[in-house]
């Protein structure tokens, strides 16, 4: 089964929860879909053996065939190609690799060439995978799609998703059997979790909430979950020990057995929640 | 008007709190929130909305089923698996590229504009404020960010500064947040993951030629990582313009929507004042250089 771990905002402990689950669930697969800022490897410390570049197709103009008619530029919805007098300019970074320009060209003057925008890295047995968008590249979706091709369907798969609520998150959790939303009771936390809740509801995926840095000073998310009938799967209290561990790249489950047990319980609840 | 954008790589590092604190200290400025996927600044600023607009930032294919002869060409052409076996468009997957419209022999497919969010301009006691909210799961968040920055221009008087709360990550939204600004301030945390995020986001600023500065928030949580970050910044020419300590009292004050300034925390108020003074100096120097 596939479980997406997400949060409306970054920095709420998404990776702590994903990596802790990965550490306690036997023979599971962990996939870091937060390809803009992947952090899972810092905690899980895999030995990355396989590295394959992620390539996309972008247009290249055969100047011997082009008559500067401008139809390609008209077809491109992303302003990634422009025709000026006797030049055709391609802006490969903002190209969405759709192929519309090639279809539009009446002179067969457009070829498509491969361009690398990032990398997918894996450990030897493919139980840890991460994607990395190259610095300066705007479009991350092809890397997420590439990662998802490597999902091992017969295992418990943990997808550590990007923050936010945009198309990158939609692509990451599409096809998931269950989602875990991480929320922090900061003053903004309630606002952020509502966005994540709406997203998974729209996609019809069953879900539960994990409260990170829970404290009695702010129970707004508790109340929200109660009134919406959302299950709180686990509450991780604020602890100096956990925060210190986090800063060094150490997971709560490595600090003591208690957390080991708690994350195993979380795993059971997820299994239960997905089969309801 | 000089534009300063505050970004953090991951989020949750105290970026909005810093921007909100500065909004109390800096005079003669405008404000913008470019974190359109999970905006927070409006909660602290509580302004009166002057203008609200739907934003149409993406397109989507629509098939006229009465004209469609189910030839399948569109489905074969679409590279985003956005057309179902029944020849219906899957809105969540359609990128609005229009490739399908070019191959349909029946001319049965059209691109239509879709709403991807809302933009707002608000009047607040701390200055005019431009912000937005992306529709859940929508495409084109980068375009919405660009729109937020454009809206500033329409309301600009003679403000000296624009303080921008930026977006997370290193992709399209961040690029749209930082391009053409005068300086980037990366708000970082002394953690192993924060360190990795910082290095990547500084790389983006460099790639787009925007001068970047670093603020280490909660620096006393891990002094070792803090000094590693300082060393990295020193070696790569990124000035560290502020180090703000962690204090539990800040968290308490924030629970009541109060910035450290409003809560009367002297140490932190001074740190933030110094950070701003240093930034103003650095930006002046850039102009001269
Ligand atoms: S459509 Fe083809 S021929 Fe026309 S300008 Fe573009 S590349 Fe050249
Ligand atoms: S492949 Fe698509 S996005 Fe890229 S230049 Fe051609 S039409 Fe534009
Ligand atoms: S517009 Fe592009 S993405 Fe949408 S259905 Fe047509 S070909 Fe596919
Ligand atoms: S290409 Fe046009 S006619 Fe053919 S299946 Fe698609 S919509 Fe229908």
Tokens encoding B67: 């004209």
CA atoms of B251 and B265, how far apart (whole Å): 12
Residues of chain B with Cβ-Cβ distance to A135 below 8 Å are 170, 200, 203-204, 207
* Percent of chain B at pLDDT exceeding 70: 100
pLDDT digits (tens, 9 = 90+) for A176-193: 999 999 998 877 888 889
Which of B7, B9, B12 to probe by mutation at the A interface, max A CB count within 10 Å? Answer: B12
- Ligand in closest contact with the CA of B98: 3
Checking if the pLDDT of A64 tops 90, the result is yes
Asked whether residue A161 falls in the same domain as residue A255, the answer is: yes
Asked whether residue B224 falls in the same domain as residue B93, the answer is: no
Tokens encoding A78: 């992303």
Instruction: Name the band, by pLDDT with cuts 50, 70 and 90, for residue B85.
Output: very high
Domain span including residue B90: 65-107
Residue B180, domain member (yes or no) = yes
Asked whether residue A83 falls in the same domain as residue A132, the answer is: no
Asked whether residue B80 falls in the same domain as residue B185, the answer is: no
Residue A120, domain member (yes or no) = no
Residue A121, domain member (yes or no) = no
Asked whether residue A102 falls in the same domain as residue A175, the answer is: no
* Residue A265 Cα, gap to closest chain B Cα (Å): 26
Of A77, A103, A192, the CB nearest to B96: A77
- Ligand in closest contact with the CA of A96: 2
Residue B248, domain member (yes or no) = yes
How many domains does the structure of chain A reveal? 2
Spatial contact of A140 and A133, defined as CB atoms under 8 Å apart: yes
3-state SS class at B140: coil
Q: Residue B160 has what pLDDT? A: 95
Residue B112, domain member (yes or no) = no
Tokens encoding A74: 């008209």
B68 lines ligand 4 (CB under 6 A): yes
Asked whether residue A141 falls in the same domain as residue A220, the answer is: yes
Checking if the pLDDT of B2 tops 70, the result is yes
Q: Residue A276 has what pLDDT? A: 66
Ligand 3 site, CB within 6 A:
A 98; B 61, 77-78, 80, 82-83, 89, 94-100
Mean pLDDT of A108-115: 97
Asked whether residue B89 falls in the same domain as residue B166, the answer is: no
Asked whether residue B79 falls in the same domain as residue B204, the answer is: no
Q: Residue A87 has what pLDDT? A: 92
Asked whether residue B126 falls in the same domain as residue B74, the answer is: no
How many domains does the structure of chain B reveal? 2
pLDDT digits (tens, 9 = 90+) for A202-228: 999 999 999 998 877 778 899 999 999
Q: How high is the mean pLDDT of chain B?
A: 93
Asked whether residue B234 falls in the same domain as residue B102, the answer is: no
Asked whether residue B254 falls in the same domain as residue B127, the answer is: yes
Three-state DSSP string of chain A: CEEEEECCCCCCCHHHHHHHHHHHCCCCEEEECCCCCCCHHHHHCCCCCEEEEEEEEEEEECCCCCCCCCHHHHHCCCCCEEEECCEEEECHHHCCCCCHHHHHCCCCCEEEEEEEEEEEEECCCCCEEEEEECCCCCCCHHHHHHHHCCCCCCCCEEEECCCCCCHHHHHHHCCCCEEEEEECCCCCHHHHHHHHHHHHHHCCCCEEEEEEEEECCECHHHHHHHHHCCCEEEEEECCHHHHHHHHHCCCHHHHCHHHHHHHHHHHHHHHHHHCC
Asked whether residue A155 falls in the same domain as residue A263, the answer is: yes
In Å, what is the CA distance from B237 to each residue of A127, B202, B234? 38, 11, 5
Residue B151, domain member (yes or no) = yes
Mean pLDDT of B133-151: 91
Checking if the pLDDT of B254 tops 90, the result is no
Q: Residue A16 has what pLDDT? A: 92
The pairing of beta strand B212-217 with beta strand A178-183? unpaired
Asked whether residue A163 falls in the same domain as residue A101, the answer is: no
Asked whether residue B137 falls in the same domain as residue B245, the answer is: yes
Last residue of a domain, one of B76, B107, B138: B107
Asked whether residue B97 falls in the same domain as residue B180, the answer is: no
pLDDT digits (tens, 9 = 90+) for A137-168: 999 999 999 999 999 999 999 999 998 888 89
Contacts of A11 (CB under 8 A, 6+ apart): A163, B8, B10, B11, B12, B13
Q: Give every strand in the sheet of A50-61, ordered side by side.
A: A50-61, A110-122, A128-133, A29-32, A157-160, A2-6, A178-183, A207-214, A232-237
Checking if the pLDDT of A41 tops 80, the result is yes
Asked whether residue B89 falls in the same domain as residue B132, the answer is: no
Tokens encoding A131: 């994607």
Ligand 2 midpoint to CA A79 (Å): 8
Checking if the pLDDT of B104 tops 80, the result is yes
Residues of chain B with Cβ-Cβ distance to A160 below 8 Å are none
Asked whether residue A107 falls in the same domain as residue A175, the answer is: no
Ligand 2 midpoint to CA A81 (Å): 7
Q: Of the candidates B119, B117, B114, which has an alpha carbon nearest to the alpha carbon of residue B33?
A: B119
Ligand 4 midpoint to CA B107 (Å): 8
Asked whether residue B74 falls in the same domain as residue B177, the answer is: no
pLDDT digits (tens, 9 = 90+) for A66-79: 999 999 999 999 99
Take atom 6 of ligand 1 and give the residue whose Cα is closest. A72
pLDDT digits (tens, 9 = 90+) for B220-242: 989 999 999 999 999 999 999 99
Asked whether residue A60 falls in the same domain as residue A39, the answer is: no
Checking if the pLDDT of A62 tops 80, the result is yes
Residue B60, domain member (yes or no) = no
Asked whether residue A42 falls in the same domain as residue A153, the answer is: yes
Take atom 8 of ligand 4 and give the residue whose Cα is closest. B68
Domain span including residue A159: 2-46+127-274
Atom of ligand 4 nearest to the CA of B87: 5
Ligand 4 midpoint to CA B60 (Å): 15
Q: Any idea which residue has 């921008």 for tokens? A: B164
- Which of A186-190, B42-46, B192-196, B238-242 has the largest mean confidence? B238-242
Residue A41, domain member (yes or no) = yes
Asked whether residue B195 falls in the same domain as residue B275, the answer is: yes
pLDDT digits (tens, 9 = 90+) for A87-106: 999 999 999 999 999 999 99
Residue B45, domain member (yes or no) = yes
Asked whether residue A171 falls in the same domain as residue A79, the answer is: no
Asked whether residue A141 falls in the same domain as residue A71, the answer is: no
Contact assignment for A11 to B221 by CB distance below 8 Å: no
Tell me, what CATH number does B47's domain have? 3.40.50.300
Tell me, what CATH number does A96's domain have? 3.30.70.20
Mean pLDDT of B15-21: 90
Residue B35, domain member (yes or no) = yes
Instruction: Name the band, by pLDDT with cuts 50, 70 and 90, for residue B179.
Output: very high
CA atoms of B128 and B142, how far apart (whole Å): 22
Residue B49, domain member (yes or no) = yes
Instruction: Name the band, by pLDDT with cuts 50, 70 and 90, for residue B255.
Output: confident
pTM of the model: 0.91
Residue of B nearest to A246 (CA): B191
Checking if the pLDDT of B276 tops 80, the result is yes
Helix, strand, coil tally for chain B in percent (to 5): 40, 25, 35
pLDDT digits (tens, 9 = 90+) for A24-38: 999 999 999 999 999
Asked whether residue A238 falls in the same domain as residue A164, the answer is: yes
């Amino acid at each position: 089964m596939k479980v997406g771990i997400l949060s409306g905002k970054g920095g709420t402990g998404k990776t702590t929860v994903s990596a802790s689950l990965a550490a306690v669930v036997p023979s599971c697969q962990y996939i870091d879909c937060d390809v803009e800022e992947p952090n899972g490897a810092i905690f899980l410390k895999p030995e990355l053996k396989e590295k394959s570049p992620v390539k996309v197709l972008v247009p290249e103009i055969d100047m011997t065939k082009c008559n500067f008619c401008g139809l390609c530029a008209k077809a491109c919805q992303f302003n990634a190609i422009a025709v000026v007098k006797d030049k055709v300019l391609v802006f490969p970074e903002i190209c969405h690799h759709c192929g519309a320009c090639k279809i539009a060209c009446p002179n067969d003057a457009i070829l498509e060439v491969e361009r690398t925008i990032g990398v997918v890295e894996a450990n030897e047995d493919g139980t840890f995978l991460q994607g990395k968008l190259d610095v300066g590249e705007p479009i991350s979706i092809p890397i997420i799609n590439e990662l998802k091709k490597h999902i091992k369907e017969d295992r418990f798969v943990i997808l550590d998703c990007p923050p936010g609520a945009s198309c990158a998150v939609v692509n990451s959790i599409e096809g998931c059997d269950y989602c875990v939303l991480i929320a922090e009771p900061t003053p903004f936390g309630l606002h952020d979790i509502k966005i994540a809740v709406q997203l998974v509801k729209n996609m019809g995926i069953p879900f539960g909430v994990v409260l990170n840095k829970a404290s009695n000073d702010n129970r707004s998310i508790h109340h929200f979950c109660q009134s919406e009938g959302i299950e709180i799967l686990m509450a991780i209290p604020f602890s100096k020990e956990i925060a210190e561990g986090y800063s060094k790249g150490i997971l709560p489950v490595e600090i003591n057995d208690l957390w080991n047990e708690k994350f195993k319980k979380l795993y059971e609840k997820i299994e239960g929640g997905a089969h309801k | 008007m000089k534009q300063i954008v505050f970004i953090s790589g991951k989020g949750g590092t105290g970026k909005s709190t810093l921007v909100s604190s500065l909004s109390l200290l800096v005079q003669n400025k405008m404000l913008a929130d470019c974190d359109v996927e999970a905006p927070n600044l409006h909660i602290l600023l509580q302004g009166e909305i002057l203008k609200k607009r739907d934003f149409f930032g993406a397109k989507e294919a629509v098939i006229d089923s009465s004209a469609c002869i189910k030839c399948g060409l569109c489905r074969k052409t679409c590279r985003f698996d956005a057309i179902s076996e029944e020849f219906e468009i899957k809105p969540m997957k359609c990128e609005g590229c229009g490739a399908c419209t070019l191959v349909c022999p029946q001319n049965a497919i059209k691109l239509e504009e879709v709403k991807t969010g809302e933009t707002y301009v608000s009047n607040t006691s701390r200055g005019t404020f431009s912000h937005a909210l992306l529709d859940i799961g929508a495409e084109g968040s980068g375009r919405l960010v660009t729109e937020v920055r454009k809206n500033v221009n329409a309301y600009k008087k003679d403000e000296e500064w624009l303080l921008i709360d930026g977006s997370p990550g290193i992709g399209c939204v961040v690029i749209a947040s930082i391009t053409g600004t005068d300086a980037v301030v990366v708000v970082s945390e002394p953690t192993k993951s924060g360190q990795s995020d910082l290095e990547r986001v500084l790389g983006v600023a460099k790639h787009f030629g925007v001068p970047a500065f670093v603020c280490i928030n909660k620096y006393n949580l891990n002094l070792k990582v803090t000094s590693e970050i300082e060393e990295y910044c020193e070696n790569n020419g990124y000035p560290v313009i502020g180090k703000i300590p962690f204090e539990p009292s800040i968290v308490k004050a924030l629970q009541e929507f109060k910035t450290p300034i409003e809560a009367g925390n002297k140490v932190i108020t001074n740190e933030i004042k110094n950070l701003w003074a240093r930034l103003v100096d650095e930006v002046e120097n850039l102009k001269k250089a």
